[in-house]
Amino acid sequence: MVTYLCSTHDIPHHIVECLARLLAAHRRRIGTPRGSRALGLFRQAALVLRWFRERGKVGVSR
């Protein structure tokens, strides 16, 4: 389980870590400067996985 911004998701921690490593490799490959992104690798990975889990409805409250 991963806690992300005051909510808990049933995504295994090792899956988020794996995606974070892939994001890190991609950022290095394209030359993204350190500190230039709003989210760190782990939080970005958790957000992406949450977005896929909820079918693109993250942040929509109606």
Q: What is the pLDDT of residues 4-34, one digit of tens each?
A: 554 567 788 899 999 999 999 999 999 999 8
Lowest-confidence segment of 5-14, 16-25, 35-44, 46-55 by average pLDDT:
5-14
Query: 52 — phi, psi (to 5°)?
Result: -65, -40
| Confidence (pLDDT) at 12 | 87
Nearest Cα neighbor of 26 from 4, 45, 46 is: 45
| Confidence (pLDDT) at 2 | 60
Predicted TM-score of the model (pTM): 0.71
User: Which of 26 and 57 is assigned the larger pLDDT?
Assistant: 26
| Confidence (pLDDT) at 27 | 94
Span 34-53, mean pLDDT? 88
